Amino acid sequence: MGGHPGMFEPLKGGGAAVALDDIEISILRSLAVQLLELIGPGAPEPAEDADPLAALFAEGPSEPPSDPALARLFPDAYGGPSAEDEGADPAELKEWSAEFRRFTENDLRTRKREDALAVVRSLDALTPAGDGAAVLELTGELPLRWLGALNDLRLTIGARLDIAEDEESAQLYRLPDDDPRKPMVMAYLWLGGLQETLIETL
């Protein structure tokens, strides 16, 4: 990934900084743009004379997305094997999840889109230093926006690679170089390092 460890370090006075080279910047930007395309547009902008309360309760989808990556970004609120083990009725869980999704998915989609946009914008504002690397400084709400987007990117790539969220990444390190999944796996592990070091700075 270049001659420097692309990991976040704390900034004096709060926030986080990371040195990124041109390749890392273009990979991150491209991933964030793909994430934006995957998340898609949110609810349409309300008309000027629209009732703000109605917009607040505008209904979103009630079914989970069919794309496995989106299903991981917008999981069901209730359910899963543990809930069924506790004796909950699957039909009832499905109904609760549908209800919850209708009133929360649009907001969640908007937040995830804003996080991904924040990544694109802060990368676009970078000025490269003489050695081809640029230092990205995140302050204010940006570290949390980046954290959200990095997490979403890892979930998305994990779904594409069919990696269980708690799967041992040691297996991923051992992929042979000619495995077609290798570049995606390297991106997945690198994003994990960025996410972990960013959490440490917070």
For 116-171, what is each residue's pLDDT tens digit?
A: 999 999 999 997 666 778 999 999 999 999 999 999 999 999 888 887 655 556 67
DSSP single-letter state for residue 134: E
Q: What is the pLDDT of residue 200?
A: 94
Q: What is the pLDDT of residue 4?
A: 43
Q: Does 53 have pLDDT greater than 70? A: no
Q: What is the pLDDT of residue 87?
A: 67
Calculate what percentage of the chain has a pLDDT beyond 70: 79
Which residues, including other chains, have CB under 8 Å from residue 202's CB and lie 6 or more apart?
A: 16, 143, 144, 147
Number of H helices, E strands in the chain: 8, 3
> Residue 167: CA atoms inside 13 Å, Cβ hemisphere, count?
16
Q: What is the pLDDT of residue 3?
A: 35
| pLDDT band for position 65 (cuts 50, 70, 90) | confident
> Residue 69: CA atoms inside 13 Å, Cβ hemisphere, count?
16
Q: What is the pLDDT of residues 7-20, one digit of tens each?
A: 999 999 999 999 99
Q: What is the pLDDT of residue 175?
A: 81
Q: Does 78 have pLDDT greater than 80? A: no
Q: CA 178 from chain center: how many Å? A: 27
Q: What angle do CA 132, 130, 25 make, to 5 degrees?
A: 30
- What is the rounded CA–CA span in Å between residue 14 and residue 187? 27
Q: CA 39 from chain center: how many Å? A: 10
Q: Which one is predicted more confidently, 45 or 75?
A: 75
Q: Does 110 have pLDDT greater than 60? A: yes
